[in-house]
């Protein structure tokens, strides 16, 4: 089971469970997350959701194998776009409990959460340019809204991965745990589950609108799709598989 659903009193825990690939987000898993959030959105007994990863990692990016041969035309009709939209549309508090790697699509998923708790081992980043690509689910735009242009540019252009303390200091997350993230996230979900649900939904709706109204999310996605046909993407992914430095030619 790639997604483990654990109901709790007033809230639900969703665990990404592909530990052999550090919980990489293939299309099926992303669709399962979107479907479960849609179900829980309609469940009055669930007032918040915690999203975490199994065995020490949140999610180490998208599934490279799915991207490797994907063309720009396929990218334009990719079901992942609807999955991302539905995840962002979840109307209740969504908490990301991040341990280990949250990279690429995994980091983008955590940035869609309303509350992020970083564990001591957390490492976050958007290394897509190392593959000849850019973030494809709004990660660059959302990161810039959180940390400003200079720091977002630093991470997106260089592919740098930063530790939990740095991410917390930059304002990427609102909570930093001394150990694993999940206990602190569970406590937060328990507290949120006792608060007025209509007010929480209204507050989330207002905060999302305020933070994302000016973002060019469609433009970022279109740029990602165009790069799917590039020779640099092919070289970047080949180099990733071969564990060597890519030789990009701007083609």
Kindly tell me the sign of the dihedral angle through the C-alpha atoms of 139, 141, 146, 152.
positive
Q: d(Cα 176, Cα 191) in Å, to the nearest integer?
A: 17
∠ CA 187-190-194, rounded to 5°: 140
251 is catalytic: no
* Catalytic residue chosen out of the listed positions 105, 119, 132, 136: 105
120 is catalytic: no
177 is catalytic: no
108 is catalytic: yes
Strands (E), 80-207: 94-98, 101-103, 115-118, 123-125, 161-163, 175-176
- Contact criterion met (CB below 8 Å) for 70 and 228: yes
* Residue closest to 95 by CA, chosen among 115, 111, 119: 115
* Catalytic residue chosen out of the listed positions 62, 97, 167, 181: 62
* Catalytic residue chosen out of the listed positions 61, 128, 137, 236: 128
* Catalytic residue chosen out of the listed positions 104, 108, 113, 140: 108
- Residues annotated catalytic, as ranges: 62, 105, 108, 128
């Amino acid at each position: 089971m790639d997604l483990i659903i654990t109901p709790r009193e007033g809230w639900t825990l969703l665990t990404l469970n592909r530990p052999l690939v550090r919980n990489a987000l293939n299309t099926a898993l992303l669709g399962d997350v979107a479907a479960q959030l849609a179900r829980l959105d309609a469940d009055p007994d669930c007032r918040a959701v915690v999203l975490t990863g199994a065995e020490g990692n949140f999610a180490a990016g998208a599934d490279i194998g799915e991207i490797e041969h994907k063309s720009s035309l396929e990218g334009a009709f990719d079901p992942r776009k609807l999955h991302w939209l539905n995840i962002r549309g979840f109307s209740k508090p969504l908490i990301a409990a991040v341990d280990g790697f949250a990279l690429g699509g995994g980091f983008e998923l955590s940035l869609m959460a309303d509350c992020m708790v970083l564990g001591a081992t957390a490492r976050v980043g958007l290394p897509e340019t190392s593959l000849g690509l850019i973030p494809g689910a709004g990660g660059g735009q959302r990161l810039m809204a959180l940390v400003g242009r200079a720091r977002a540019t630093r991470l997106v252009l260089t592919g740098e991965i930063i530790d939990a303390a740095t991410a917390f200091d930059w304002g990427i997350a609102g909570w930093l745990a001394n150990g694993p993230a999940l206990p602190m996230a569970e406590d937060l979900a328990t507290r949120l589950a006792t608060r007025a649900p209509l007010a929480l939904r209204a507050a989330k709706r207002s905060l999302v609108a305020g933070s994302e109204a000016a973002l060019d999310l469609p433009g970022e996605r279109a740029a990602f799709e165009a790069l799917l046909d590039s020779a640099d993407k092919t070289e970047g992914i080949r180099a990733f598989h071969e564990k060597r430095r890519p030789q990009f030619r701007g083609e």
